[in-house]
Structure 1
């Protein structure tokens, strides 16, 4: 399966962002991609205004997600990324997956970025359910969001549940060694679970971009820098089978995976 990573600079206006995503979707289809993965918080963002995503939040049946569904249906393309949804006076950071116009999965971010002097919980309500496994054609995808990558038990739970690849929209904040953290942890989550890891970063004065795809044996097969770009990579089921044959970590593990919360089927989206 060919996938595309839409590394973009998210503007403070949802209509401008939807237009940018429309351009990325058209280019992805021209490249033969079946899935377009976008960054975190794609409705609206301002590096100087951390509360903007909450104020700009829309319900999943609002105009922004409806626009994504139209793009998906028009291009016959699956689209994944996170949007902020109003909740309890704050917002939920919802990772949505849309395929051919249908909203097929939603995962509400479990681990909020309360670290490195940031407090995402000031503006966002955490989810409490393990992400679903989403099937697109013959690949099974597990859903994660940004800071989730620092919690290996979540990636392991998804791999044990049958994920071939993990989708990781992000808005990774700059800082000392932070680019190294991003690269190391994306690679580690791929290798320790013998899955593809698709990390897509937002670009701004605050966020690093640096999107990348790492294969099940830790090889980086696509990578971006700090400018807007469309990356294309191929996921190969034979590579997963070879990795799990030579490195059977999922089979060899001796301890069970902790239950992280209630599991919601990808059919139970709202």
Structure 2
């Protein structure tokens, strides 16, 4: 499976972000990708306005997703990204949406909200309550996670026990002392401890680190972006997964039960 990681700086204006996404979709198609992963919160971002997710949330039949779905209908490329959608109440959902062939094929509402490092995502976002099912792309099974989920090993392990080959993580990882080191350690750990590839795609710009990366099942960083917008590609090799699980059979050797949502 060939994966494309589309890292960019999200603006305040949804139309500008939609145009960037369409461009990334076209370039990923031209690059022969089977999967394109985009960052978290790509509808709009403004570091001066903590309530922007409330003001800019759109339903999945709104103009932002309609534009992306129209572009998606032109190929078999699978595309994943996180957008904020209305709940019908006072908060919004942080929704990891997967589209293919002009249709929405899955949704995952973020379980772990970023109430840490003086931030409080839960002020505006309602958490999900369902572990997402695996998605198949190019013969491989993918488990879905979003940003702060990375700090909780249970979801990644649940996906691995359920049969995931690859973990997908759109993110908007906030800058701060030691935060880029946290990203490196945690992305690598989730891959290595589950003998899965992980595709982690970060938003870049004024607030967030970027640093999108693919780490293989033995903890080797296959490709990595810097702090500026980029489209990078990586090959996901099934033989590498089989090799890792033969020499490091942690999934077979584990003594703990399958993680369940509390």
Q: Give the aligned partner of residue 151 of structure 1.
A: 152
State the aligned residue count: 261
The CA distance in 1 between the partners of 2:64 and 2:127, in whole Å, is 21
The CA distance in 2 between the partners of 1:247 and 1:76, in whole Å, is 34
Q: Give the aligned partner of residue 72 of structure 1.
A: 72
Is the contact made by 2:18 and 2:67 (CA closer than 8 Å) also made in structure 1? Answer: yes
User: How far does the alpha carbon of each residue in 1:94-145 deviate from its partner, in whole angstroms, 9 at most, with x for none?
Assistant: 0011111121110000000000000001110000111221111201110000
Q: Give the aligned partner of residue 265 of structure 1.
A: none
User: How far does the alpha carbon of each residue in 1:150-209 deviate from its partner, in whole angstroms, 9 at most, with x for none?
Assistant: 000110001101111011000000011000000100000000000010110001211110
Q: Give the aligned partner of residue 183 of structure 1.
A: 184
Unaligned 5+ runs, structure 2? none
1:230 is aligned to 2:231: yes
User: How far does the alpha carbon of each residue in 1:185-240 deviate from its partner, in whole angstroms, 9 at most, with x for none?
Assistant: 00000000000101100012111101000000001001011000001000011110
Q: Give the aligned partner of residue 18 of structure 1.
A: 18
Is the contact made by 2:77 and 2:101 (CA closer than 8 Å) also made in structure 1? Answer: yes
Q: Give the aligned partner of residue 117 of structure 1.
A: 118
The RMSD of aligned alpha carbons is 0.9
| Large movers: runs of 4+ above 3 Å | none
The CA distance in 2 between the partners of 1:227 and 1:73, in whole Å, is 29
The CA distance in 2 between the partners of 1:137 and 1:2, in whole Å, is 9
Is the contact made by 1:26 and 1:75 (CA closer than 8 Å) also made in structure 2? Answer: no
Could you say what secondary structure the match of 1:125 adopts?
coil
Could you say what secondary structure the match of 2:73 adopts?
helix
The CA distance in 2 between the partners of 1:125 and 1:197, in whole Å, is 26
Q: Give the aligned partner of residue 170 of structure 2.
A: 169
Q: How does 1:128-147 map to 2 (within 5 A)?
A: 128-147=129-148
Could you say what secondary structure the match of 2:85 adopts?
strand
1:200 is aligned to 2:231: no
Is the contact made by 2:34 and 2:138 (CA closer than 8 Å) also made in structure 1? Answer: no
Q: Give the aligned partner of residue 52 of structure 1.
A: 52
Q: Give the aligned partner of residue 98 of structure 1.
A: 99
Is the contact made by 2:200 and 2:214 (CA closer than 8 Å) also made in structure 1? Answer: yes
The CA distance in 2 between the partners of 1:196 and 1:68, in whole Å, is 26
1:253 is aligned to 2:254: yes
Could you say what secondary structure the match of 1:129 adopts?
coil
Unaligned 5+ runs, structure 1? 262-270
Cα offset for 1:257?
2.1
Q: Which moved more, 1:65-74 or 1:78-87?
A: 65-74
User: How far does the alpha carbon of each residue in 1:38-94 deviate from its partner, in whole angstroms, 9 at most, with x for none?
Assistant: 000111111221211221001112121122211211133111010001111211000
Is the contact made by 1:68 and 1:79 (CA closer than 8 Å) also made in structure 2? Answer: no
1:5 is aligned to 2:10: no
